[in-house]
Chain A
Amino acid sequence: MKDILITLEILVCIVSGIFLGASGMVSIEVISRADSLAWWLLELLIFLVGIDLGINHIWKRLKTVGFQMLALPIAVVIGSFLGGIMATLLLRFPFMKGMCLTGGLGWYSLTSVLMDKWMGPEMGALAFLSNVIREMLTMLCFPLLHRLKLTVPGIAMGGATTMDSTLILINRVGGAEYAFIAFFQGLIITLIVPFLVPFLAMFCK
């Protein structure tokens, strides 16, 4: 319930921001400063993500789980990109921009700020939407997939979000052992995304 509430709060934040921006009540001067404010907030969030990972002693955990566990995040990244390729073909979308969107793997706050900064607000909005919908789909589908004994595919859907926003739901529905698999997947993907998106963006015109 707590996770659904957070998703709803996020939707309220974006919708109220859009309404305020569209209403014209905010001066152009303030909006022009939004870029640097967004970047400053992103730096703060990255720092706090680091603290969270440090508290969980990730290096010790990485040593104990072994290489078998890496199979899941690798499969998630490959599967996502195959889906992303299909989406670019279906929508006739510029290929590398599509790959950048896919490279977010559910981390909407980072991807949308980077895409907004480098490719404009339209791509920023698209990055936000595609990654937020992914989180919502995970929250909606995970309980059903767990019931169908497809818990791991349910975790895989979440991408980077399984380290934080969807983890509580996975822990509650699937139990602690699945929560660990989910956390590990989210952790590896969270470490990959800050490299992956800028790398892919270098190939965008």
Chain B
Amino acid sequence: MTWQDILNILILFPILGAGLWIGHKANPDATWVKGSRWLGLIGLFALIFVLGLKIGSSPKVMGNLKSIGFKGLTFALLTTLGSALGGYAVMRRLPGKGRK
């Protein structure tokens, strides 16, 4: 990780902050708010597509797709299981319905 990478990350926080401030001041029923949700979904799809494009164009990744899939599944299963057990451990401490 270089200083440029750290700077790139630091830029994300004022961006998040600006969004928070604009959202805080906004009328939730405004047309542009609904539009921003659509834009978010389209932006997400575009980002995923671009990531797919990068994955597909890398011979190194394509050659190891099976191994990457196995590792991804293992990480997903164990981290999800760990979180669920964490949730189980604290569920009686939660206020309201969490006590069930």
Contact = CB atoms under 8 A, between A and B. Distances in A.
A43 B8 CA distance: 10
Interface residues of A, number: 109
B52 A16 contact: yes
A155 B87 CA distance: 8
Interface string B23-56: 1111010000100110111011111111111111
A21 B59 CA distance: 10
Contacts of B20: 50-51, 53-54, 58
Contacts of A49: 16, 19, 40
B43 A55 contact: no
Interface string B2-15: 00011011011101
A131 to B, nearest CB: 7
Given A121-B55, A121-B60, A130-B76, A153 B88 contact: yes
A173 interface: no
Nearest to A121: B58
B94 A71 contact: yes
Contact of B57 (A31, A45, A93): A31
Interface string A192-205: 00100010011010
A84 B82 contact: yes
Contacts of A16: 49, 52
Contacts of A186: none
Interface of B: 1, 5-6, 8-9, 11-13, 15-26, 28, 33, 36-37, 39-41, 43-58, 60-62, 64, 68-69, 71-91, 93-98, 100
15 contacts: A50-B18, A54-B26, A68-B95, A83-B80, A87-B78, A98-B75, A120-B60, A121-B58, A128-B51, A133-B73, A134-B76, A145-B84, A152-B94, A156-B84, A198-B6
Closest A-B pairs by Cβ, 6 of them: A50-B19, A17-B52, A54-B23, A21-B56, A156-B87, A79-B86
